[in-house]
Amino acid sequence: MTGFMPKLPATPLPLALLCLACVSGGSHGAPDPFSLDTRIPAPRPLDQEPVQAPCLPPASDTALTLAQVVDEALCHHPQTREAWANARVQANLAGVARGAYLPTLNAALGAGRRHQEVAGKRDDQRQETASLNFSYLLYDFGGRAASLDSSQQLLEALLATEDATRQRVFLNALQAYYQVHATEAAVQAARESEQAARESFKAAEARYLAGTATPADRLQAQTAFSQATLARIRAEGSLRNAQGALAHAMGRDAHVPVRLAPIQIDFPEPHFEADLAALVAQAKARRPDLQAAEARYQAARSDVAAARAAGMPSLSLGITPTYQALDGVTSRTGSIGLTLSIPLFTGFADSYRIRAAEARLDASAAQREQLAQQVALDVWQAYQNLLTATHTLRTTADLLASAQASEQVALGRYRAGVGNILDLLNAQSALANARLQRIQSAFDWHISRASLAQAMGQMDKRLLDTGLSALPALSRNTP
């Protein structure tokens, strides 16, 4: 250690206070010298770049399209804001790790009075002290590098998690949107079925009054009419629940109304084929949650290196100038030197920290493998669901056409007096089911397509295209 006496100003206390204020920063409006905030994309609509912040306040009474529903969910759902905040937390922790490569500077101030009394004589002295401590870690066998790499890998994991959250919120909003329209169509179909049952009841009652039908026919028609009314009431209740689920998916309270613009859903061509092995490979390359698991595994590897480096020596540079004033008599001292710190025995703490880090690495590897298998299962199930939805489209088209023709024949025969009420009621029930299945099949196809895209990590604006073909008429007189 060698003597060191830097030239200090004559008024060190204000200067030291100013220096302390400059380096401390404060708790509010803290600076971002490493510009880490630029890496954290804030919640935003689907088509906007991360550098922009175009989220607008939620629409109040506007009729919303699917794109507007998804954008509001991405901007205002608490899950997206939570994922963004978590990424910001880790970005700042990465800044802490990066700051370990910079020196530290601490100021110490002291002021007081010193009183002593010897042989009846009092001696009061005013004392002021000021000192700066400069410390810089020169070498630590890779500990800082490992900690920084771990923090950066965890940041990458949380950025990927934010992406996965956005895709999940996107899918939930899309599913809820289509479910509202599906239940609206189900309500319309239930109303048409109720109207058909009402007409059948009127026809049965007219035949009963004319003496050409039995009381049983009239009662059966009345029962079918009541059941159709009950089905319509239940469908309207399901619609209200679906509307609440949509509001929740958008980040609103369930009771806040959401008004949707009319939709013209496309009945796509019932053809879909893909190479399943290629889909799984693409999913493993694109899925953000799998990317997050890989980043967490790399962070665990860095944690092992950091734990091992913690038990190694470290070399630091220290500079400490000191100022002291005692009753107007000032003195300045200082020191500069190198410090080699060698941990000799820590009660086996270092050893167990390394073992714990290695165990966490094994657990992270298992989690990564488990998620990779889950990705393959997600793609398999979503692919099979889309195949099923595709084949269902073709079948429901034939089912609806045959059910409409059957109902028309049964109604005509009953009105002509050559058919019975059971045949008519059965035909009307089959037509009601065919209508619901035809409508639901189209919405299921779009939802299954989005589910496969989410399973592959490819949620994008192409999924917002509902098609431009008009919704086929669903009245019982339309083949």
Cα separation, 269 vs 397, in Å, equals 11
The residues that bridge with 473 in the sheet, in sequence order, are none
Work out how many domains the chain is built from and give that number.
Answer: 1
Residue 437's Cβ-count burial label (10 Å; 0-12, 13-18, 19+) is: middle
Q: Which two tokens stand for residue 289?
A: 């949650």
**Model confidence band, residue 267 (pLDDT cutoffs 50, 70, 90):** low
pLDDT at 49: 59
Q: Region 224-231: what's the mean pLDDT?
A: 91
pTM of the predicted structure, to 2 decimals: 0.81
The answer to whether residue 147 sits within a structural domain is yes
Provide the domain limits for residue 385.
66-102+142-312+348-464
What is the tens place of the pLDDT at every residue in 460-470? 887 887 653 33
Angle between helices 66-76 and 78-99 (to 10 degrees): 40
C-alpha 435/C-alpha 423 separation (Å) is 18
Residue 274 belongs to some domain of the structure = yes
Torsions phi, psi for 132 (to 5 deg): -120, 140
Q: Do residues 363 and 296 make contact, with C-beta atoms less than 8 angstroms apart?
A: no
Per-residue model confidence as pLDDT tens digits over 276-296: 888 899 999 999 999 999 999
**Residue 406: which pLDDT band, with cuts at 50, 70 and 90?**
very high
CA distances from 432 to 46, 202, 260 (A): 38, 19, 25
Mean pLDDT in residue range 423-439: 85
Residue 53, pLDDT > 80, answer: no
Residue 309 confidence class, pLDDT cut points 50, 70, 90 = very high
Closest by Cα among 121, 126, 242 to 175: 242
Give the integer Cα–Cα distance in Å for 52 and 47.
Answer: 10
Instruction: Look at residue 137 and tell me if it is in a domain.
Output: no
Any domain includes 446: yes
Over 50: is that where the pLDDT of 476 sits? no
pLDDT of 331 over the 60 cut: yes
Amino acid at 197: A
State percent of the chain over pLDDT 70. 86
Please state the rounded mean pLDDT for residues 444-450.
89
Residue 119 inside a domain? The answer is no
Strands of the sheet with 104-118, listed across from one edge: 2-3, 329-341, 314-326, 121-139, 104-118
Domain for residue 424, yes or no?
yes
For the CA atoms of 158, 162, 167, 171, what is the dihedral angle to 10 degrees? 110
- The band of 195, judged by pLDDT with boundaries at 50, 70 and 90, is confident
Token pair for 428: 């009307």
User: pLDDT tens, 366-377?
Assistant: 999 999 999 999
Does 441 reside within a domain? yes
For residue 20, being part of any structural domain is answered with no
Residue with tokens 């431009």: 468
DSSP string over 353-399: HHHHHHHHHHHHHHHHHHHHHHHHHHHHHHHHHHHHHHHHHHHHHHH
Domain with residue 415: its CATH number is 1.20.1600.10
The pLDDT assigned to 474 comes to 34
